[in-house]
Amino acid sequence: MENIKKKIEETLKEILDIDNIFENISEIKEEKKGDYTFPCFILSKTYKKAPNIIAAELKEKIEKKDFIEKIESVNGYLNFYVDKKYLTKIVFEEYDKKKEDYGKNNNCNKTVLIEYSSPNISKPFHIGHLRTTVIGHALYNIYKFLGYNTIGINHLGDYGTHLGKIIEAYKLWGNEYNIEENPIDELTKMYVRINKLCEEDETVLENCRNNFKLLEEGDEYCNSLCKKISDLSLIEFNRVYDLLGIKFDSIKGESTYVKYMNDILKVLEKNNKLLNSEGAKIVDLEEDGIKTPCIIQKNNGSSIYATRDLGAILYRSKTYDYDKSLYVTGYEQELHFKQVFAVAKYLDLNEKYINGLEHISYGMYRLKEGKMSTRKGNFVKLEDILIESINKAKEIIKEKNPNLENIDEVAKKVGVGAVVFSDLYNSRIKDEVFDLDEMLSFQGETCPYIQYMYVRINSILSKVDNKVLLNNVSYDKLTDEETFNIIKLIYKFNDIVSLAAEKNEPYIISRYLIKLSNAYSSFYTKNKVLSDDIEERNSRLYLIKVVGNIIKTGSNLLGIEMPEKM
Ligand code: ARG
């Protein structure tokens, strides 16, 4: 599609001989004063004139162009009003060409890895994992839409001393618990019980440590038990992924990367980076501005969390030749990733692989009841939250539309969408309080509001049998302010998705969708879509068809599905 800003640049280039025109043109945020503006004070030095005089002179010099409705010189700025019919025409023609793919980019020959969700086996998949899962999934869709070769990775936590405890609990009470039937609940009960016992009895704790050591040494019993726990846990995790519509391209446990520890130690040694500290091998990171050194090998010979992340970097650089590698986890892991990325610089990898590493951190969810702890057994399972939201959604929909078919399917889309959308509505780093009733409201900045807008559009389109054609559009009928606000938003769709990727912030799309829904709502209040004037009617129908499609595409990028009726 034509780029209007670029066209304004070209126009100015005809009369100006400076380089940075494009960067200086910006969109005008307030309505009514035009669409794009160019500041003339940047020319004052060269022209030795006041900006307002320059602006006035330039205005006279610019030749009339079909895409510009008018130009104004205001306080030293040149304000451009885009021709309404022109913009509407290029937007509609682009839509007609690309249909559902409107806004999508072709293959950009870049690979991005997105590591997200990554719960720990045997532990509950709780509300604390919601953000990484939902943000990561949205980023995955966004990059894919922009033409990246996108790889979604689930880095399962299948390693660590807590497994030594689970193994001990299984040895002691394995026959008392039915982990096949109800894996995470039963394993959690065992975990709580063994923790209590460890506090009372040192020797039990010692046994747990020993189990972990056996696991590391490749002991068959311990390893096959862990494999079983991992498989059973995944069955439960997959139920949540199904509800959220998530699939991963790669699911690998952290334990996969233990085998790289020796390679890592070797390069670091070679690069004079390895220090001994009370028997442990560490890398000092003062030079990199990080006060805490990174442990690579503990004094008992074990790897740590960071070692395995370094191993994963070695593996992924070889396997995927990535351009970007994003890690979506909470901000409490900031130091960890700083350390890992700093040490990665000394592994003799191609610089591209180091520059591509990025920690996408986010704030926490707070429950009204306070902090969660698996160790004590108080946590809220993500699956339960989603099911509760679906049930609540069902009640609300039943009341509004008692005769709706497939109510369960709709309730799922509304209930899950509400939770996902609210998670993605603010900048990542903000802490959030979890409030289902607010999320499920049909008014305000919520998912049901957007879904309802979509459903209303659909219902109008279904009345005309969906036969809405570009050929029947009369651009003269689409020049009112409310319509043009919508057109401008549709024109911007690809820029919005690109910005969301650039900043790794899905909220840029959520806010856009609310804006678009609001713009549609204002349009709808003012204008009758099924007007008696046939030209007006056909033109407006085409407009709302495009709006509906963008709402759907944008929501899908966030991981939200649209009901056709509700
Ligand atoms: N399993 C970890 C947890 O639940 C998250 C893993 C994050 N990814 C990583 N590469 N360290 O906290």
Q: Is 362 in the pocket of ligand 1 (CB under 6 A)?
A: no
Dist CA 158 CA 150 (whole Å): 24
pLDDT of residue 236: 93
Return the bridge partners of 358, or none.
Answer: 326
Q: Which residues pair with 38 in a beta bridge?
A: 78
214 within domain boundaries: yes
440 and 348 in one domain? no
pLDDT of residue 467: 78
Query: Is 413 among the domain residues?
Result: yes
Evaluate: CB of 116 within 6 angstroms of ligand 1: no
- At CA 115, angle to CA 111 and CA 117, rounded to 5? 150
Averaged over 483-493, what is the pLDDT? 97
CATH of the domain at 549: 1.10.730.10
For helices 161-173 and 202-216, give the axis angle rounded to 10 degrees.
110
The confidence score (pLDDT) of residue 490 equals 98
Question: 527 and 463, same structural domain?
Answer: yes
pLDDT bracket for residue 370 (50, 70, 90): low
Nearest-CA residue for ligand 1 atom 3 is 119
C-alpha of residue 50 to centroid of ligand 1, in Å: 58
128 Cα–ligand 1 center, Å: 12
329 CB within 6 A, ligand 1: yes
Domain presence at residue 8: yes
Cα of 244 vs centre of ligand 1, distance in Å, is: 20
Query: Are 397 and 300 within one domain?
Result: no
Q: Among the atoms of ligand 1, which is closest to the Cα of residue 156?
A: 1
Question: For the chain, what percent of residues have pLDDT higher than 90?
Answer: 86
155 touches ligand 1 (CB under 6 Å):
yes
* Dist. CA 132 → ligand 1 center (Å): 10
Residue 372's Cα: distance from chain center in Å?
A: 24
Regarding whether 272 and 166 lie in a shared domain, the answer is yes
CATH of the domain at 125: 3.40.50.620
Per-residue pLDDT, 377: 56
What is the total count of domains within the chain? Answer: 3
Give, using CA atoms, the residue closest to atom 10 of ligand 1. Answer: 309
Chain-centroid distance, C-alpha 56: 45
Query: Last residue of some domain: 82, 108, 138?
Result: 82
Q: In terms of domains, do 123 and 38 share one?
A: no
The yes-or-no verdict on residue 243 having pLDDT over 70 is yes
pLDDT computed for residue 375 by the predictor: 55
**Beta-strand runs (E) in 23-89:** 26-27, 36-39, 68-74, 77-82
136 CB near ligand 1 (under 6 Å): no
Point out the domain boundary residue: 38, 57, 82.
Answer: 82
CATH number at residue 77: 3.30.1360.70
Nearest to 482 by CA among 527, 432, 534, 431: 527
Indicate whether residue 327 lines ligand 1 (CB < 6 A).
Answer: yes
Is any atom of ligand 1 closer than 6 Å to the C-beta of 118?
Answer: yes
Tell me: do 74 and 125 sit in the same domain: no
- What is the rounded average pLDDT for all residues in the chain? 94
Residue 333 has pLDDT above 80, yes or no: yes
Q: What is the mean pLDDT of residues 64-71?
A: 94
Q: What band does 371 get if pLDDT is binned at 50, 70 and 90?
A: low
Residues 348 and 400 in one domain: no
Reply yes or no on whether the pLDDT at 365 is more than 90. Answer: no
Our answer on whether the CB atom of 154 is closer than 6 Å to any ligand 1 atom is: no
209 and 331, same domain (yes or no): yes
Is residue 101 domain-resident? no
pLDDT tens for 17-67 read 888 999 999 999 876 689 999 999 999 988 899 999 999 999 999 988 999
Contact between residue 142 and residue 506 where contact means Cβ atoms under 8 Å apart:
yes
Residue 402 Cα to ligand 1 midpoint, Å, equals 44
Residues 388 and 361 reside in one and the same domain: no
Q: Which amino acid is at 208?
A: C
Closest ligand 1 atom to residue 329 Cα is 7
Q: Quick check: is 371 in a domain?
A: no
Q: Indicate whether 248 pLDDT > 80.
A: yes
> Quick check: 511 pLDDT over 90?
yes
Q: What is the CA(157)–ligand 1 centre distance, in A?
A: 6
pLDDT of residue 378: 61
Which residue has better confidence, 31 or 13? 13
Q: Which of 366, 394, 423 is the last residue of a domain?
A: 366
pLDDT of residue 427: 84
Q: Which residue has the tokens 């969408």?
A: 417
CB distance 526 to 465 below 8 Å: no
Note the pTM of the prediction, 2 decimals. Answer: 0.94
Pair 131, 271 in one domain: yes
Shared domain for 25 and 161, answered yes or no, is no
Same domain, 362 and 420: no
In a domain, 94, yes or no: no
Classify 327 as helix, strand or coil: strand
pLDDT of residue 428: 84
Q: Residue 311 C-alpha to ligand 1 middle, in angstroms?
A: 14
Determine the pLDDT at residue 300: 87
Has residue 491 been placed in a domain? yes
- The per-residue pLDDT for 540 is 97
Range of the domain at 70: 4-82
Average pLDDT, integer, range 312-316: 98
Distance 209 CA to ligand 1 centre (A): 21
Domain-embedded: residue 201: yes
Q: What is the pLDDT of residues 183-194, one digit of tens each?
A: 999 999 999 999
